Structure 1
Amino acid sequence: MSNTLDDDLRDDVRADSLVLSALLHADGALSGWALICTALTMLALLAMPWPADTLLLLWLAVGVLALAERYVRFRLMLDQQLFQQLGEGRLPSLAHMDGGLQRLGLRRAAPRPWADRVRGTRRLLYGHLGLVLVQTALVMVCGIGTSFLNGY
């Protein structure tokens, strides 16, 4: 596949767009788990006696990770919608999409090759997975530590 595209999107780019859109849509389940981790963190901060200083820092780290996760998930949802519209032909070309994003202040002026767009979205997706995994590990460590401190 070439890195440059004509004004009209090729069939392989449309197919790639739809597959990538489906992958990003599936990431919603991971996002749901991240929300559960955030809810557990907030419940623990509000309901349990304050843990030791180390555990308090871990709980706060989970909260900060939750904010980062929400931002990355927002970006992935935007990408998912844009790829879906490209794949379905509702956006006639990458140039039209880039123009709209630039006019809204969401994208710099320089066009990107198709392969870079796919690679960037995959990198963001893997970053999201990493955030959720670290958040999950911290929730588990905090839960075990809090239980230990409370004598459970």
Structure 2
Amino acid sequence: MKHLISIRIASAAEREQVRSIRDRAFVSVRTVYSPTETATPKSTSQETARIDAIASIQGLDAGVIGLYSDGPQLRITGLGVLPALRKRGVASGLLNFAERVAIERDCRTLGLFTILETGNVEFFLRLSFAIVDEQLANWCESDRFDALHEVEMRRDVR
């Protein structure tokens, strides 16, 4: 069954709502890893121009994505879909939105980082992302894994 997904750019007044959606969407990821107490988020001066978007299904907020330009690449950060609303095309819709933003900003690629042990690499590979780098993720820890691996992925804007 096809679901009608609407996506809007979050306003400044919706920052707390974006954070709440992302926190609830990341509950399953947090069973795999969490940032260490001393972790500092990767941040660049370009990230100050970050936008967040909220996806909804029939008026229910379902997921979020953060986007910022990094030279010729549009970086995706904090892509998350609420567990009860997964497998309905929300993540794909958010990635299609990211691609439209990339085109508007003259970016040639979409890029993101994910943790290998979450299983998300396979999801992004199915959506035509390619692995461009992998390294130990020293900024996070896990009760389930001895080591965690951060994977950088990228795909061309179509």
What TM-score bracket applies, with the shorter chain setting the length?
Answer: under 0.3
Higher normalized strand content (fraction of residues)? 2
Q: TM-score, normalised by structure 2?
A: 0.25
Higher normalized helix content (fraction of residues)? 1
Larger radius of gyration: 1
